[in-house]
Amino acid sequence: MEKEDIASSRLSSQHINLNSSAKSPGDVLASLGAIQAQDYPAALWAIGLRCGDSTTKADVEKAIAEREISRTWLMRGTLHFASSHDVHWMLRLFAPRLLNTAIS
């Protein structure tokens, strides 16, 4: 695989291209799993740019308000945005390690 193909493939899998299949913030996070959200404005931008078309900051914040996506401490005690649909199974997966770390 050529360097250009690798770069193109990575951009496509991260939904950072003109032909992104993700149409909403929920689509982005369902595909990627989660996006780090320590820096709230940067996280909104990271989600919005992956939605394609003309997604705005207000569109991403609407997805938060409507609970399509959630900002939570899923991994490493770091804030992440994730699809609200996926948060439950992710918490079951990560909770034992988070609790062990918190107790230690």
Instruction: Work out the widest C-alpha separation in the chain, in whole angstroms.
Output: 47
Q: At what angle do helices 40-50 and 25-32 cross, to 10 degrees?
A: 90
Average pLDDT over residues 66-75: 90
The separation between CA 74 and the C-alpha centre of its own chain, rounded to angstroms, equals 12
16-32 per-position pLDDT tens digit: 766 666 788 998 999 88
35 vs 4 pLDDT, higher one = 35
Q: What percent of the chain has pLDDT over 90?
A: 42
Beta bridge partners of 70: 82
* Apex 77 CA angle, 74 and 79, nearest 5: 65
Cα(84)–Cα(66) distance, integer angstroms: 10
Q: Mean of the per-residue pLDDT values for the chain? A: 85
Long-range pairs, 89-97, Cβ under 8 A, ≥24: 90/33, 90/34
Q: What is the pLDDT of residue 23?
A: 80
